[in-house]
């Protein structure tokens, strides 16, 4: 350490400007020359000694206690060998195409070997994982019986069974586009990522948008609601929230799997500083899927009004014909503010909108997905009134442009949440813990239905073609994870959960108060 510090001081001392031509600078030049000459002489000395030792004329061990082999290792060190490459299991479509059976080469169980050397392997999961306990709370007292489970069948698109480390599916009906296919694909990837780590279980999954299990119909400690998994829920229903299919790719809209999308958006973020972005609120989407989206389009700029919003219609039919050239998510981080508004229920677009380093103006939501409940107004997003959209948007942008440090910080915090707390490994961990906690509630032994088929990567990907096959290959987990899942945090204490929700309400109310004061003042001035 002392030598390093002296060398730094010498470099600083000797790098003075050329016009300081003193005896000191000449001394520096001489010192550098001597150092170089010494290094060259030492190198040739090592070569001569090595040659003499090799010829047997001198015995290094006699003089230094070091063997010839050790001396050679000292002077001619081999480069450090790289760590062993991970086990890789690519798609095996040859075997699948021949006998239509899942290959047996992928391990049914795998224990990570490097956990002791990786302190992060047992890190606590992000705080939003706590909502897993809340979603399953309705069955904590009674458990889940076979009768309760079968009550969800009439709503489900498929039944999923995990037994002895393998996954099976019984399909009941087709889903919108390929939602079901990529949801099944995601579960297969989870078992490739954590082979043999999931217990036996059986569940029903509905791939439509809106929740269907009303809480009011299942009141009381022994009500026994049917457990139904889906992509979103709300505060009036008991559906169990699961990450949506698009994490493994949304082929119909050319949206790549999550790992690649995050990379694209991260690169897009680098193209412009937040302060240089267009100082308005941006939204691009399909306004025809819900009346509140159609209402949002009234807030677009006209010759008469400017509500500080720039809104664009996304028509997927011509986009498909043009090769999705204007739909790249990495190219949409161009405005200071991004608008999120729900579709028929929650919208897949939510996670992409949050990833842009721009504050998200979150229109009052009616639904929640698996992660949004862990985000806080004024910290990760800016709340916007759904029943007074245009004025609320105008105020949000005005406020942000007049409080740029706060606005930029909100954008960064929301984006960091997505890029760090929702990276693909955490998506897998969320599903892992959700299914694991769910399996603990089952009061029956899962079984494979007569009409079920075994699922594996080959069964889903090998018959696929085009962009569907491409996205599956992109999102294929070729190797088991070398680390354990993160540690699931404990459930919220009732008082802590109340405090959390109270804080959310308080921060949203504070924004509403500022907004009302802004418009009152503007009205009086006119």
Q: In this predicted model, what pLDDT tens digit does every residue of 154-189 receive, in sequence order?
A: 999 999 999 999 999 999 999 999 999 999 999 999
Write the DSSP symbol of residue 128: G
Q: Mean per-residue pLDDT for 25-54?
A: 47
Question: Side-chain half-sphere of 320: how many Cα atoms within 13 Å?
Answer: 8
Name the least confident of 15-24, 117-126, 192-201, 359-368: 15-24
Residue 483 token pair: 């680390």
Query: What is the C-alpha radius of gyration for the chain, rounded to an integer number of angstroms?
Result: 31
Q: CA 416 to CA 422: how far, in whole Å?
A: 9
Q: Is the per-residue pLDDT at 70 higher than 60?
A: no
Task: State the pLDDT at residue 166.
Answer: 95
pLDDT-derived band at 20, boundaries 50, 70, 90:
very low
H helix or E strand, kind and range, residue 454: strand 453-455
Q: Is the per-residue pLDDT at 65 higher than 70?
A: no
Q: CA 158 to CA 171: how far, in whole Å?
A: 4
Q: Is the per-residue pLDDT at 12 higher than 50?
A: no
Q: Mean per-residue pLDDT for 79-108?
A: 78
φ/ψ of 279, rounded to 5, equals: -80, 45
pLDDT-derived band at 11, boundaries 50, 70, 90:
very low
Whether the CB-CB separation of 232 and 369 falls below 8 Å is answered with yes
Write the DSSP symbol of residue 138: G
Compute CA distances 223 → 227, 236, 238, whole Å.
12, 15, 12
Question: Side-chain half-sphere of 147: how many Cα atoms within 13 Å?
Answer: 3
Residues forming beta bridges with residue 276, ordered by sequence position? none
Residues forming beta bridges with residue 170, ordered by sequence position? 159
Task: State the pLDDT at residue 281.
Answer: 98
Residue 309's SS3 state is: strand
User: What is the per-residue pLDDT across 391-431, written as a single tens digit (0 to 9) for each?
Assistant: 999 999 999 999 999 999 999 999 999 999 999 999 999 99
Listed in sequence order, the DSSP H helices in 56-119 are 60-64, 68-75, 93-99
Task: State the pLDDT at residue 43.
Answer: 52
Task: State the pLDDT at residue 321.
Answer: 82
Q: Is the per-residue pLDDT at 191 higher than 90?
A: yes
Q: Mean per-residue pLDDT for 6-11?
A: 37
Cα end-to-end span (Å), the chain = 70
pLDDT-derived band at 9, boundaries 50, 70, 90:
very low
Q: CA 234 to CA 345: how far, in whole Å?
A: 9
Q: CA 299 to CA 301: how far, in whole Å?
A: 7
Name the least confident of 59-63, 159-163, 310-314, 443-447: 59-63
Q: Is the per-residue pLDDT at 95 higher than 60?
A: yes
- As a whole number of angstroms, the longest Cα–Cα distance in the chain is 103
Task: State the pLDDT at residue 112.
Answer: 74
Residues 6 or more apart from 242 whose CB is under 8 A from it?
183, 205, 229, 230, 231, 370, 431, 434
Task: State the pLDDT at residue 263.
Answer: 96
Torsion of CA 256, 261, 264, 270, to 10 degrees: 160
User: What is the per-residue pLDDT across 206-239, written as a single tens digit (0 to 9) for each?
Assistant: 999 999 999 999 988 888 999 999 999 999 999 9
Cβ-count burial 363-389 (b if 16+ within 10 Å, e if not): bbbebbbbbbbbbbbbebbbbbbbeeb
pLDDT-derived band at 489, boundaries 50, 70, 90:
very high
Compute CA distances 101 → 98, 105, 202, whole Å.
8, 12, 22
Cβ-count burial 344-359 (b if 16+ within 10 Å, e if not): ebbbbbbbbbbbbbbb
Q: Please report the DSSP string for 157-226 in residue order.
A: SEEEEEETTEEEEEE-S--STTHHHHHHHHHHHHHHHSTT-SPPEEEEE--SSS---BGGGS-STT--PP
Residue 346's SS3 state is: coil
Q: Mean per-residue pLDDT for 127-151?
A: 97
Residue 188 token pair: 């297969």
Task: State the pLDDT at residue 34.
Answer: 41
Whether the CB-CB separation of 131 and 147 falls below 8 Å is answered with no
Q: Is the per-residue pLDDT at 120 higher than 90?
A: no
Q: Is the per-residue pLDDT at 60 higher than 50?
A: no
H helix or E strand, kind and range, residue 518: helix 494-525
pTM: 0.83
Asked whether the CA dihedral 436, 438, 441, 445 is positive or negative, the reply is negative
Task: State the pLDDT at residue 8.
Answer: 37
User: What is the per-residue pLDDT across 281-330, written as a single tens digit (0 to 9) for each?
Assistant: 999 999 999 999 999 999 999 999 999 999 999 888 888 888 887 888 99
Compute CA distances 228 → 242, 391, 452, whole Å.
10, 39, 18
Q: Mean per-residue pLDDT for 7-33?
A: 37
């Amino acid at each position: 350490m002392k030598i390093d510090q002296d060398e730094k001081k010498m470099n600083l001392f000797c790098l003075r400007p050329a016009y300081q031509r003193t005896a000191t600078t000449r001394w520096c030049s001489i010192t550098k020359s001597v150092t170089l000459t010494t290094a060259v002489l030492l190198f040739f000395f090592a070569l001569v000694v090595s040659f003499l030792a090799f010829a047997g004329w001198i015995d290094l061990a006699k003089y230094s206690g070091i063997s010839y082999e050790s001396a050679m290792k000292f002077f001619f060190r081999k480069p450090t060998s790289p760590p062993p490459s991970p086990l890789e299991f690519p798609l095996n479509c040859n075997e699948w195409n021949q006998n239509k059976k899942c290959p047996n080469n992928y391990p049914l169980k795998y224990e990570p070997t490097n956990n002791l050397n990786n302190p992060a392997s047992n890190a606590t999961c992000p705080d939003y994982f706590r909502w897993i306990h809340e979603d399953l709370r309705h069955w904590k007292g009674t458990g889940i019986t076979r009768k309760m489970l079968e009550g969800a069948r009439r709503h489900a698109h498929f039944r999923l069974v995990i037994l002895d480390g393998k996954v099976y599916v019984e399909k009941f009906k087709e889903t919108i586009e390929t939602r079901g296919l990529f949801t099944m694909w995601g579960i297969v990837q989870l078992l490739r990522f954590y082979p043999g780590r999931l217990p036996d279980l059986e569940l029903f999954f509905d791939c439509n948008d809106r929740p269907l299990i009303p809480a009011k119909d299942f009141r009381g400690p022994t009500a026994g609601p049917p457990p139904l998994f889906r992509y979103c829920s709300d505060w009036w229903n008991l559906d169990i929230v699961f990450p949506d299919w698009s994490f493994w790719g949304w082929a119909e809209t050319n949206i790549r799997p999550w790992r690649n999308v995050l990379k694209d958006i991260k690169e897009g973020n680098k193209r412009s500083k937040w302060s240089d972005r267009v100082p308005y609120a941006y939204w691009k989407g399909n306004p025809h899927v819900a009346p509140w989206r159609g209402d949002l389009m009234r807030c677009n700029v006209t010759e008469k009004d400017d509500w500080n919003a720039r809104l664009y219609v996304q028509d997927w039919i011509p986009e498909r014909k043009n090769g999705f050239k204007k739909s790249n998510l990495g190219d949409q981080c161009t405005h200071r503010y991004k608008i999120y508004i729900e579709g028929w229920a929650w919208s897949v677009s939510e996670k992409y909108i949050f990833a842009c380093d721009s504050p998200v103006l979150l229109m009052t939501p009616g639904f929640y997905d698996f992660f949004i409940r862990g985000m806080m107004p004024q910290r990760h997003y800016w709340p916007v009134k759904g029943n007074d959209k245009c004025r609320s948007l105008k105020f949000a942008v005005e406020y942000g442009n007049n409080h740029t440090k706060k606005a930029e910080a909100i954008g960064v915090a929301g984006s960091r949440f997505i890029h760090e707390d929702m990276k693909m490994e955490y998506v897998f961990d969320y599903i892992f813990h959700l299914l694991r906690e769910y399996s603990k509630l089952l009061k029956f032994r899962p079984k494979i239905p007569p009409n079920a088929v075994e699922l594996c990567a080959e069964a889903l990907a090998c018959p696929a073609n085009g962009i569907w096959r491409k996205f599956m290959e992109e999102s294929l987990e070729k190797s088991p994870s070398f680390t354990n899942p993160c540690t699931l945090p404990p459930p919220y204490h009732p008082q802590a959960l109340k405090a959390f929700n109270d804080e959310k309400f308080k921060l949203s109310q504070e924004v509403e108060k500022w907004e009302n004061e802004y418009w009152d003042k503007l009205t009086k001035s006119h």
